Amino acid sequence: MEFKADALVLRATDWGEYDKIVTLFTAERGKLSAALKGVKRAGAKLKFAAQPFCFAEYVLVEKAGRRTVISASMHDGFYALREDICCFYAAAVIAEACDKLLYEGMVSPELFLSAVRGLEELSALAEGSETPLEDGKSGSSYVLLKFLLKALKEAGYPVTAGNCPHCGEPLSGRMRFDMASGVFGCEACGGGVPASESTYLAIRAAYGEGGEATADGVKRALRLLSAYFSYQASELPALEEYLRT
């Protein structure tokens, strides 16, 4: 059986002397792996289709449960990402988060779109063609924060940054974040790990619910999401790496 799929390369592994196995995130079929034969040979036509972050229309053949890519036409290779180390690491977080969140058979066109949009934004930042915004919203970390919040929501682990769920009061100053429910609450009502107001405000800003996103707040929010992601799904080594750069 032959089929076409718009897909993003999440991961590529060497296979034998000349082949690669790619993990593709497709809009309509979720995550799947496929072989790319001979792509490690010099001058191989499909070399681009095994590159990380490649966004292309793939043509695959499925035989006895094994898939092979027979052709591909590129939508975007996001090559500009290679010019900026922060944007490149941030893109690696997007790919890794999708890989970790997508279980067998999970189809999410919304997550697919968010991932492509996130890579586009990072690419534009790396090229320097993006207009810088004020405060913490200008960098790759804000793109990443917006993406991770969306990805966690799509996977069923939404983060809620509204009023305190216990007393209903608006939150300010010192507060808490409950890892089990993903909800911010006040310090007095208890439950969860300590969280700062700047973290909470950065997350509200990323949701478009007002709130100021300082550069420090965005970094703190990413650290909190790293812990939350580990708690709910799995560790994200690429995010740890990104936060160290």
Comparing CB distances to Zn ion, the nearer of 139 and 185 is: 185
By CB under 5 A, is residue 165 in contact with Zn ion? Answer: no
> Smallest distance from the beta carbon of 189 to Zn ion, in angstroms?
3
How would you class 190 by CB atoms within 10 Å of its CB: exposed for 0-12, middle for 13-18, buried for 19 or more?
exposed
By CB under 5 A, is residue 167 in contact with Zn ion? Answer: yes
Q: Which region among 40-48, 109-117, 156-164, 198-206 touches Zn ion (by CB under 5 A)?
A: 156-164
Q: Which region among 7-15, 58-66, 123-131, 187-195 touches Zn ion (by CB under 5 A)?
A: 187-195
Contact 216, 136 (CB under 8 A): yes
Q: Write the DSSP symbol of residue 47.
A: G
Comparing CB distances to Zn ion, the nearer of 20 and 176 is: 176
Scan residues 33-72 and list those touching Zn ion (CB under 5 A): none
| Residue 45 CB contacts under 8 Å (≥ 6 apart), including other chains | none
> Smallest distance from the beta carbon of 168 to Zn ion, in angstroms?
7
Amino acid at site 151: A
> Smallest distance from the beta carbon of 124 to Zn ion, in angstroms?
40
Structure tokens at 241: 């790496």
> Smallest distance from the beta carbon of 208 to Zn ion, in angstroms?
24
Q: Which region among 6-14, 82-90, 185-193, 218-226 touches Zn ion (by CB under 5 A)?
A: 185-193
Between CA 108 and CA 209 the distance in angstroms is 24
> Smallest distance from the beta carbon of 188 to Zn ion, in angstroms?
6
Range list of β-strands (E), 27-171 = 30-36, 55-63, 66-76
SS3 14: strand
Whether the CA torsion 142, 210, 230, 147 is positive or negative: it is negative
Scan residues 188-217 and list those touching Zn ion (CB under 5 A): 189
Closest CA to 27 of 95, 92, 106, 100: 106
β-strands 30-36, 19-26: how paired? antiparallel
Comparing CB distances to Zn ion, the nearer of 65 and 173 is: 173
By CB under 5 A, is residue 186 in contact with Zn ion? Answer: yes
Comparing CB distances to Zn ion, the nearer of 34 and 183 is: 183
Q: Which region among 18-26, 36-44, 94-102, 164-172 touches Zn ion (by CB under 5 A)?
A: 164-172
Structure tokens at 53: 């972050």
Q: Which residues of the chain form contacts with Zn ion (CB under 5 A)?
A: 164, 166-167, 186, 189
